[in-house]
Structure 1
Amino acid sequence: MSRFTRVGFIGLGVMGEPICRNLAQKCGLPVLGCDMNPEPLARLAPHGVQAADVATLARECDVIFLSLPSGEIVEKLARGDQGLLATCRPGQVIVDTSTSPVDTTRKLSAEFAERQVTFIDAPVARTRAAAEAGTLSVMVGATPEVFEEVRPLIATFANEITLCGGVGSGQVVKILNNMVLFETVTALAEARGIARRSGVDPKVILETFTLGSADSFALRNHGLKAILPGEFPEKAFPVSYARKDLNYALRLAEQTGIPAHGARNVDLWFEAALARGLGDRYWPVISRVIDDEDGGAPVNAASGHQP
């Protein structure tokens, strides 16, 4: 039987809100939510989520989930004057579902351990639609014992849960998953542009790829659903967020002595997209920077596509 009696959740943004909703609906425990924006809290209230501040969560919750935009914000929340390190209590477990730098995660875990608090990483993969459906993939960095404790809670919003190793290992796998995705989509965008300029319809090359060895999740989702129709909505995973994750991968590559030339190539395209003012658009918009067939015309901002 779980020792947890109350769940806290900090960060109710694009992913955090549906994750928190699934927790509240399925975990069988009271859930307290915290966010600077009152709107998601209002939407979650009918599902039993009670609004609270960080100090209240630290005082009343045995386990606290974080879903924040960056590792820098996680650090700020932890180390602020009234942050989690100042207000936590022995025996608590903090589960960071954000994507954060590996070294930051391991340093925070050590600092919390000095206060007898367990801090683990459990970054999430897949889309907001998957978060809504409770079918995320979660990569966990924790001891096997802590993993087994938190797994039933994570299972309320994920159908694939992997213990990747000790603290920080979940971040390693998540960051490199994104790096490989970014590189694959960049290759697709380059192939599309070369094909178009060689007189081959982009639809033909991308759809034919699905029949051969170039087939992939990236092709069927980012290639056929975003690059081909030119749909790069603003309410999806934007270039600015993608570049943040890629920079975490490049930081890890530098720390481990791997040149990562492929990832650095992607970063050049992200930088070019930002220079074009496309930082808020769904990140496969780099395909239109790679092959600027419209001469710099605004890209399609259709909003119905999920990342």
Structure 2
Amino acid sequence: MSSLLHTLHQDAVPYSRPITPASHHPTKIGFVGLGSMGYLIAQNLANYHAAHSDGNPPVLVWNRSAEKSEKLLQALGKDKIRIAQDLGQVATECDVIITNLANDAAVKSVYEKFTAALTHLPPTGNKIFVETSTIYPSLAGELDALVSSIPHSHLITCPVFGTPAVAEKAQLLIIMSGDYRSKKEVAYLLVPAVGRKVIDLGGNLEKAPTFKLIGNSMILGTLEILAEAFTLAEKSGIGAENVHNLVKEILPAPGTIAYSDKMANDKFDGKAGFAIDGGIKDASHIRKLTAELNSPMPAIDIAHQHLLTARAIHQGHKQEGTAKFETLDWSGIIAGTRVAAGLDGLDSQKHDSIVRED
């Protein structure tokens, strides 16, 4: 059994295990950004880190709002989590610093603060910065310029695929590009602690964020097709339930079924999924990339429009005080296709029932 587990682990991580030097000290891990994904990744990492290594210090966390950090500390305890006073403390005290943030501006700002702190107090040992956010590829070069100005410091880009439910189960798909030795060390920190498999895209730091956008274009394209199909089913009298059952029969991927269920049953709570603001940001990045490379993706252009429509409808509901959810999930894209077809955007119970005669 142990040899089987070893083989499975080798398949999940495309690198040999790093050699531990005689003077090796416990790895100090920092984690910045406790959003819907970051919180779960940090939680799993802290639990695994504490359970599988003797003498490892708690994971040092920082979040813009202290409430999330306090929540994680209360959930896991002081033996697994410490709360940093500021970003400078994370940068100077930790060997591996993982960031998971909402947008490119936040990522750039955080890395500028890291650099400022380390310029004032340069490290004497190796540091690895692990950027897991969904960013525009060219930002990776800007971050590398910042990190490379600090002695003994390396950056790897490391976006992940998976919903919060997947993150909670430590089943994320991890994409890596950058310095080989750094990827090797980080891979064994993250698998199986937070993810099931690493895909290595080489040394070019822009490759991983590019791949992430390509993957997200596939997911967003699927959402658009599902939204159009559900809307047509409602207009034709077929009904959402029949379409959802068909999805389970012919497109039985877990993620596709989950999004189908959300659209069929108006489950648009962004706090339990992926907020529509993030979806619009990703769609904008994809469209910018396709323009730069002269590689049209018309489905993404349409999806972007429908995401904007859905957000506008939701914001209108919030202003009226009638919104069912504080944050709209990006599966709410169906609001765009529904209103285009003359239906209510976010409440299928308001749709007139259409029954076609045999």
Q: 261-270 or 34-43: which moved more? A: 34-43
Aligned match for 2:305, one of 248, 268, 274: 268
Q: Distance in 2 between matches of 1:297 and 1:246?
A: 20
Q: Distance in 2 between matches of 1:215 and 1:173?
A: 23
Q: Percent identity?
A: 23
Structure 2 counterpart SS, 1:179: helix
Aligned match for 1:177, one of 199, 202, 215: 215
Aligned match for 2:39, one of 7, 13, 17: 17
Aligned match for 1:147, one of 170, 173, 183: 183
Amino acid across the alignment from 2:70: A
Q: In 2 relative to 1, CA 261–297 (structure 1 residues): closer, same or farther, beyond 3 Å?
A: closer
| Residue 116 of structure 2 corresponds to residue 86 of structure 1 | yes
Unaligned runs of 5+ in 2: 1-19, 316-325, 349-358
Q: Distance in 1 between matches of 2:82 and 2:246?
A: 51
| Residue 134 of structure 2 corresponds to residue 99 of structure 1 | yes
Number of residue pairs aligned between Structure 1 and Structure 2: 295
Q: In 2 relative to 1, CA 111–37 (structure 1 residues): closer, same or farther, beyond 3 Å?
A: closer
| Residue 333 of structure 2 corresponds to residue 286 of structure 1 | yes
Root-mean-square deviation over aligned CA pairs: 2.2
Q: Distance in 1 between matches of 2:149 and 2:281?
A: 29
Q: TM-score if structure 2 supplies the norm length?
A: 0.76
CA-to-partner distance for each residue in 1:118-171, whole Å, 9 max, x for gaps?
111111221222222222121112233221111111111111221123312221
Q: Distance in 1 between matches of 2:32 and 2:284?
A: 24
Structure 2 counterpart SS, 1:221: helix
Q: Distance in 1 between matches of 2:270 and 2:27?
A: 38
Aligned match for 2:106, one of 70, 73, 78: 73
Q: Distance in 2 between matches of 1:128 and 1:264?
A: 26
Query: In the alignment, is the contact (CA less than 8 A) between 2:332 and 2:346 conserved in 1?
Result: no
Displacement of 1:61 in angstroms is: 0.9
Q: Distance in 2 between matches of 1:197 and 1:299?
A: 14
Displacement of 1:198 in angstroms is: 2.2
Query: In the alignment, is the contact (CA less than 8 A) between 2:335 and 2:346 conserved in 1?
Result: no
Displacement of 1:298 in angstroms is: 5.2
Query: In the alignment, is the contact (CA less than 8 A) between 2:307 and 2:336 conserved in 1?
Result: no
Unaligned runs of 5+ in 1: 301-307
Q: Which structure would you say has the larger Rg?
A: 2
Amino acid across the alignment from 1:38: A
| Residue 174 of structure 2 corresponds to residue 138 of structure 1 | yes
Q: TM-score if structure 1 supplies the norm length?
A: 0.88
Could you tell me which residue of structure 1 aligns to residue 146 of structure 2? Answer: 111
Structure 1 counterpart SS, 2:281: helix
Q: Distance in 2 between matches of 1:17 and 1:152?
A: 20
Q: Distance in 1 between matches of 2:68 and 2:208?
A: 27
Q: In 2 relative to 1, CA 25–260 (structure 1 residues): closer, same or farther, beyond 3 Å?
A: same
